[in-house]
Chain A
């Protein structure tokens, strides 16, 4: 009896968490335009989705922003992580804390403060401001994915490379980088996911009609919920879920290696 209750409890939580998404996915295949009536299965909205130029442009923007922001976050984050790793004592914990802060900082705060900053600097708002802001909140993920990889390294390995004639630069590229590469890639995936996922920051910092997927869905929904939105959100959910699965698998693998 207890066991059954426990299982029910678990399923209730799952239903609570996933029912909205399941309904969304279900209705993305609804032939009817109506939100309340079920008219039968169809891929109609997916077909229309790919014909919709605004959505396709927004999708392109989203992918471009995410790729650039994730690449920069991973690269700069890696260099920063190496720097933090070599720090000692209070300096290390201080720099780590200010690195982690943006992760906990509410999106609305990041969004509005960046908007104000861009306006104050007369920074062109649009694609450039979107990319810069996405790097801002992606960077900490680059750092935190690489730091544990560095901590796992044999501290003598860098000296060993120098000992064999490698310059410090060669030692980083030929010895340290190959070993922290899995962490760099995890950082890239996390930053990419965060970027695709972002609406609030993007909404505040964009301009000149440049929109990513989240912004264009938001503006579409203000004109009434078009079933195309269901389709695009379903695809977005699947994409993000796939990324999370990849990241989880990588983290599991690396924690196994650490043992």
Chain B
């Protein structure tokens, strides 16, 4: 074996040692972190979120440690470096090894000199010295971890809800409160398909009625008593825990737990499975059928919070009159809905098969049933529609069918509204087809023409004649419509016809024309606007429309009169208004407002105040009082119950409960604080 081959062999050994050292240090430090975290968690109890970070952190530390050790030993790959390392530790080599390696053709004497020296013992000692410290640390940490209770290791290895019971108690068994820690496992009823939930240290458990609630705590069940609504609840031993199982009641209740002098109250806040919501889509409204033949389409929409079981349509046929009526009922198209939360029901009612006669009434409704097998299936029904077959005697009676609401009265469209419509159309114009633009523009144009006719009627009416429309004028003029100029001329003619009183001249205009000029300008501008709108050019129509609006405003401002006489001075008799007056001829008695009733809200507020008074002296009693108040409030005042929950949790866990108590106090006192954080927007 040449000198180089011997050095390569030493390098292989040292390289393996570097890798092993890296692994051992990685394991040692990673396990050390786990052990430290486990011990700390055992002593002080760490939150689940923190514990969940320990294992990834340990792996990260191990990876970093391994990388660092490998990086520091990276030069072990170099043969000359190994040779120098050997020369340093084996002086007998006397640089012959380095010389033999540097020379491509080493002399036989050099090879013999190197071969005479054995360095493997030195290499083995170095390897042993490098591996021993991390190996010792690994052994120590592993021993420590194995010495820890299994529950402590489990809490670090796989943190999960409810593992608070795995943490061994620090206090002596005789002094220990077995009601804390407390874990609740809530399993919803099977029909909901929901998952079980574990809650640690519950002060309130909210679950669907019928769900299974299991409460667990550390230690034996002996001496632990539980009551719910006055009835005892069985507490059993299970491995190293005590546990009790109850079904979530229909009404809110308080579960009282006692362990010697320790007591604890847990509020059970059930919520009920809601009934299916069914909406009948078809038939959309009640109707009358003179000839009851053919099939009537039925459609409905159903939804449920957990799942629908089945849905169908029901009908009832009532026949007869006077005091003799008969009824028939049936079901149409029952369908299994397969636990869906929403479903569409459809079917058809064959009127011919019902053999209806005049005077018969058919009532139809849709029905859906949920899968609640705990408190009974909830059945939701839609509103009922009726189909009536009229009697012959009713044919000539006034039977008015319900009609949809009419279109908006176009006569109420003002010039301002038309401008807004035209502006919107102009904005949308780039994204619209030309045909649609023309159609909508012409619609606006028709309304513009209607308004123009109205202006024309006003002008004629003010001239003293009977209201005369353009159409009437067209009939008189052989089919030609009045132009603005003709309107002006007609106005002048009417003025001259009226004759008397036209004495106040302004320029060349007669006074009536002058008074009506703004309206005539508006009329003229409306003509221009109509022309542009009719050819689908709302943008071109807008200036004329705005001119018309301005002219209308001028006319209105010019003629707005504020004639007012002297208003009476009104002095109120406040006592009379408040029905608190008195008569002089009767005995004097001052009416006092009645005292407010002792409402349940006030009682709750007083209970809340009394509980607050106890907080300083006896916090546990205060918490129990608040819990009892919350049980009552769950039914009668849900907002107060919701506000109490965070306050109770904060008090129980020793956190600052001030804010939560203030909020609850406001709710209890009926003080509603409006949030004024709605966005402000808009402008003039």
Q: Do A and B bind each other?
A: no
Chain B residues packing against A (C-beta within 8 Å):
none
